[in-house]
Amino acid sequence: MTAQTTVPDPRRNPGEEMLTLHEACAFLRIPEGTLRYWRHADQGPASFTLGRRVVYRRTEVERWIAAQERATRRGGGDAA
């Protein structure tokens, strides 16, 4: 049986609005190596360190997704 990664829901626990690298990757559905590379290349969602741990604010990840959608959206007529 495989372990399932759960992304914290800030609506249930406002103290869990920060995502670890592993949680951010699960949320974005990308390999950890990709997110590490994006951070190294100063691309991807904004991140910072707490001690030695890299963390992502969930709101920043969602903002970055929305920006990617706006920048690359095709088709759909007038839909925004």
Residue 45, CA atoms < 13 Å, CB-side half-sphere: 25
Does a structural domain hold residue 3?
Answer: no
**Whether the model pTM is above 0.85:** no
**Domains held by the chain: number:** 1
With the CA atoms of 55, 61, 64 and 70 taken in that order, what torsion angle do they form, in degrees rounded to the nearest 10? 170
At 42-79, the pLDDT tens digits run 999 999 999 999 999 999 999 999 999 999 999 877 65
CATH number of the domain at 62, please: 1.10.1660
pLDDT in the model for residue 49: 95
Q: What is the mean pLDDT of residues 19-38?
A: 97
pLDDT in the model for residue 76: 78
pLDDT in the model for residue 29: 97
Cβ atoms within 10 Å, residue 65? 13
Pairing of strands 53-57, 18-20: antiparallel
Does a structural domain hold residue 60?
Answer: yes
